[in-house]
Amino acid sequence: AVGHHGDNLVEKILTVLQPLPGHVTDVQVDMLELTSLQRTPHSQTTLAPGCLAQTQSPAAQSLWEAMLTNKHKEGVMEVRRQLVETASKEKLPIKMSMGRVTPEQLCSYMQLFRSSWGALESHCGVLQLGLATAQTLRHPSLPRWDACLAFERLLLQV
């Protein structure tokens, strides 16, 4: 379980991703990875944002709880596990890899769903949480956030 401020994945997501317009407790999840569209140098805005609030899917709600209550690393591993399990259920050609979870690995799993509209629609909640995780892991300010948390822990030990 999480024992310190900033230890969970959700706090990091809420800190680094842009707020959803008109909301204070949700963020914009860029859904471009789930389309066949390509990002251009001029496309700085999110085309059609997804979000963290997933009330329709029990699997997404379960994943959300894990992301909120587990430490960052365990939350990220749970995202990967859920994506692999979901892709396997849909009989998508997933190649499971062990070791450190990377944003590229998560995105490659989610891109498998582009070829199946039914699977994409059925699992959009889990996919949006997966995209939020990948976008947070590759965000340029995440290393600074982690360094600040480590420094805060050191100060609290003194």
- For residues 125 and 57, the answer to whether their CB atoms sit within 8 Å is yes
Which residue stretches of the chain have pLDDT < 50? 1-2
Secondary structure (3-state) at 15: helix
Predicted pLDDT of residue 75: 93
- What pTM, to 2 d.p., does this model score? 0.83
Predicted pLDDT of residue 47: 67
- For residues 63 and 75, the answer to whether their CB atoms sit within 8 Å is no
Predicted pLDDT of residue 1: 47
Predicted pLDDT of residue 49: 80
